[in-house]
Amino acid sequence: MFRVTLFICTLFAILYSGYWVVGWVALTKGAETWADDRRAEGWQVEWSDLSVQGFPSRFDTTLTEPLLTDPETGWSWQAPFFQLLALSYKPHHLIAVWPNTHSLATPYQRYAIAHDSAKASLVFSNGTDLRIDRATLVVDALKVATSGSQFSTGTLNFAIRPTGEAPLSYDIGMTVRNLALASDLKRQLDPAGILPAAVDTLSLNAALGFDAPWDRFALETRRPQPTSLQIASAKASWGGLDLRIAADLTFDAAGLANGDITVKATNWREIVALSHNAGLLPTAFLPMVENALGSMAGLSGPANTLDIPLKLRQGTLSLGLIPLGSLPPFRLR
């Protein structure tokens, strides 16, 4: 009996070792093939070393000094290292680990990113398209610096998952705590220096629809473009200011929004001033908007609290018959 048990254990160990080696080869060759395919499309894909460790129970893949540049969209990312960690019996559940510092360049700006930790849990479908089943991201003590300015957060939490039976819609949740704005932006929004240095809380609970699924082709070919946005709740608390938003929007082929937005604002005059300071509310419309909102506040309850119905038509935001300005197209590069 002992010999039979020993034989079975030995056979299992040999088979499992073979499985791990096959997985190691598949991961290594798959990464190299993906990089070669991207280079053939004009991308710059580089790393100084690719290693897969963790035998026998894990596939821990580490890229040393990765660099990814997509010339078509103008996005580029560079880091000292990047890791994808997975249990060998759960290869479609990955843990992504970023280094404490890395950089991201867009067509508009270059960002130096730093944090105490940044980890994501990514669960994909079992197909080769690697469609996202659910994902979470947690970042602690995030700092993002651009040319001459920087903002930081205490914690950032983000989660995404498919919305029920709607295959191209995703539930999105996000919470940001202690958001310290860049000093120049803080001075622009709050020239009198009345508000605290950091926004207490930002949160979002929404469903976002796209014209294609989020899978590996979203990175390799084109980004899925938004088609709808339902905001169940978006909140911002900053000192005595409290802003809450709900919305039901659709986006046309050009990314222009249509639909309805409801805004509930506490200490709304200060929020209007912030919007004007940020350039979101043209000076020419400021007196008209303040008078209209003042009349509404007198009818709906406390004078410092407002429930405001807004409309978006072809990207133009309006309060009743008063146009407030145009929003840029919502397109992902």
User: pLDDT tens digits, residue range 40-87?
Assistant: 989 999 999 999 887 777 889 999 999 999 988 889 999 999 999 988
Written as one letter, the residue type at 180 is A
Look at residue 260 in the predicted model and tell me its pLDDT. Answer: 95
Binning pLDDT at 50, 70 and 90, where does residue 290 land?
A: confident
pLDDT in tens, 309-321: 889 999 998 888 7
CB 174 within 8 A of CB 129: no
* Dist CA 270 CA 242 (whole Å): 10
Is there a contact between 250 and 227 (Cβ–Cβ < 8 Å)?
yes
Yes or no: say if 65 and 46 are a contact pair by the CB < 8 Å rule. Answer: yes
Angle among Cα 124, 130, 132 to the nearest 5 degrees reads 45
- Give the type of residue at 324: L
The residue among 182, 136, 181 whose CA lies nearest residue 156 is 136
Backbone angles phi, psi at 209, to 5 degrees: -95, 150
Cis peptide before 167 (omega within 30 of 0): no
The size of the chain, in residues, is 333
Contact yes or no for 241/268 (Cβ under 8 A): no
Which one-letter amino acid corresponds to residue 133?
D
138: left (phi over 0), alpha (psi -120 to 50) or beta: beta
Say which residue, 1 or 244, is predicted with more confidence: 244
3-state SS class at 273: helix
d(CA 101, CA 159): 22
**199 pLDDT above the threshold of 80:** yes
- Least confident segment among 87-96, 219-228, 299-308: 299-308
CA–CA distance, 69 with 264 (Å, rounded to integer): 42
- Quick one: pLDDT at residue 244? 92
DSSP 105-161: E-SS-EEEEE-SEEEEEEEE-SSTT--EEEEEEEEES-EEEETTEEEE-SEEEEEEE
**Residues 202-258 pLDDT 10s:** 999 999 999 998 988 887 888 899 999 999 999 999 888 888 999 999 999 999 999
Q: What are the contacts of 160-163 at 24+ separation with CB within 8 A?
A: 160/132, 160/134, 160/135, 160/136, 161/133, 161/134, 161/135, 162/132, 162/133, 162/134, 163/207
pLDDT band at 5, cuts 50/70/90? low
Q: With beta carbons less than 8 A apart as the criterion, state whether 284 and 291 touch.
A: no
CA-wise closest residue to 121 among 140, 99, 139? 139
Q: pLDDT > 90: what percent of the chain?
A: 44
